[in-house]
Amino acid sequence: MDERLATCLDLTLLFAACLEHMGIAPLIVLTKGHALAGAWLSPHHDFGTSVTDDAPSLRNRLNLDDLLLFETTLCCQSPAPGFRAACQAAADQLVPDRDEMFELVIDIQRAR
């Protein structure tokens, strides 16, 4: 913590745990070599399963504002970019041209 260093997975799990502790349903998105955190914006939404590898469905839910995703590693920068920049950085990783990089999304609340 003193050196402000962590892996993307370390930070994603930390943010997911914090979101869940606040009563917000967290998501973990895994791409090849990277991880992102996210959350459902409505308690009534989910993918119908705890794990999915459907990138278009994730993008659709993101575009409909059913969920948000954010790049967790930006919090280690000094000064840290704002939350909007973190959300945009996550969205940039999920564009259709990068579908080959997408692995899966884990719905933590559904998995429990």
Judge whether 91 lies within some domain.
Answer: yes
The tens digit of pLDDT for each residue in 34-84 reads 999 999 998 778 888 999 999 999 999 999 999 999 999 998 888 889 999
Judge whether 59 lies within some domain.
Answer: yes
Q: How far apart are CA 83 and CA 15, in angstroms?
A: 13
Is the pLDDT score of 91 beyond 90? yes
Judge whether 2 lies within some domain.
Answer: no
In SS3 terms, 29-50 reads as EEECCEEEEEEECCCCCCCCCC
**Cβ–Cβ under 8 Å, residues 38 and 29:** yes
Q: 92 is in which domain, residue-wise?
A: 8-111
User: For the chain, what is the mean pLDDT?
Assistant: 92
Judge whether 104 lies within some domain.
Answer: yes
Judge whether 3 lies within some domain.
Answer: no
Is the pLDDT score of 3 beyond 80? no
pTM to 2 decimal places:
0.90
* Number of domains comprising the chain: 1
Phi–psi pair at 100, nearest 5 degrees: -65, -20
